[in-house]
């Protein structure tokens, strides 16, 4: 049985890397769409596909932008996730000691800093 679709030619272009727009870029997208620029033109300007500019997510940005009075950039909500087990201070101490001695083991780190690393296994 022959394959359902032919294999892609060897010279085909790879997929574009996924990129996340910054808040300022989102604001610019909204401004340009609001000024009457086409989806395709805005997409070309930001290096995005037209469908990426047209998708539901942009519609949500527009709604948030209008609901907020249209003056402020919509700010993202805090993301959920597991809280860190160690604090930034502990992380900096570990990094500093590893910079001094890259062959240092986790056991030695804990022996050298018992109070700082008491909650870390």
Alpha carbons 44 and 39: distance in angstroms, whole number: 9
Q: What is the pLDDT of residue 74?
A: 57
More confident residue, 110 or 84: 110
Q: Looking at the whole model, is its pTM more than 0.85?
A: no
More confident residue, 38 or 74: 38
Residues 6+ apart with CB under 8 A from 110: 117, 120
> Could you read off the pLDDT of 2-16 as tens digits, one per residue?
667 666 666 666 666
Instruction: Calculate helix-pair angle for 39-46, 23-34, nearest 10 degrees.
Output: 150
Residues 6+ apart with CB under 8 A from 97: 104, 109, 112, 113
């Amino acid at each position: 049985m022959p394959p359902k679709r032919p294999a892609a030619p060897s010279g085909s272009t790879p997929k574009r890397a996924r990129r996340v727009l910054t808040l300022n870029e989102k604001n610019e997208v909204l401004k340009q769409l609001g000024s009457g620029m086409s989806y395709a033109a805005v997409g070309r300007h930001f290096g995005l596909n037209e469908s990426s500019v047209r998708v539901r997510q942009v519609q949500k940005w527009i709604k948030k932008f209008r609901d907020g009075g249209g003056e402020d950039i919509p700010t993202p909500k805090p993301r959920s996730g597991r809280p860190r087990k160690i604090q930034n201070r502990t992380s900096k101490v570990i990094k500093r000691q590893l910079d001094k001695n890259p062959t240092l083991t986790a056991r030695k780190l804990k022996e050298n800093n018992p109070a700082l690393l008491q909650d870390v296994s």
